[in-house]
Amino acid sequence: MTFKLKGAVVALALFAGALPAAAQTVEFTLINNSSQSLHYFYTTPSNEDSWGEDLLGPDGTLEAGYEGTVTIGDGSDQCLYDFRFETGEGALLEVAEVNICELNSYTLTD
């Protein structure tokens, strides 16, 4: 099974009318509306070539139907990030150039 993005899968909203300053920590809600458990979530600034640490942590899993808060605090001043999601069932989804400076929540669906 693969993930697909529906028309309004990425819900964007401005944080209190201001964009994060350089190297600021960004938090948003990750919503797993898919039928699969999310085991790994990696991010990287879109202008870099290597994935960062798994944001779910060594024991982290976001089960289908659940949501959680994600924190990106890697010291970057970039707004455009690439996301990589891996499920326990083996599905993989990579999404390029998500604007985390405007991100309030991100939803995964089947």
**Domains located in the chain, CATH noted:** 18-109 (2.60.40.2890)
Cα distance between residue 37 and residue 90, in whole Å: 10
Cα distance between residue 58 and residue 39, in whole Å: 9
Q: What is this structure's pTM? A: 0.77
Distance set, CA 105 to CA 31, 33, 58, 70, 72 (Å): 7, 12, 23, 9, 13
pLDDT at 5: 37
- pLDDT 10s per residue in the chain (110 long)? 444 433 333 333 333 344 444 567 999 999 999 999 999 999 999 999 999 999 998 889 999 999 999 999 888 889 999 999 999 989 999 999 999 999 999 999 98
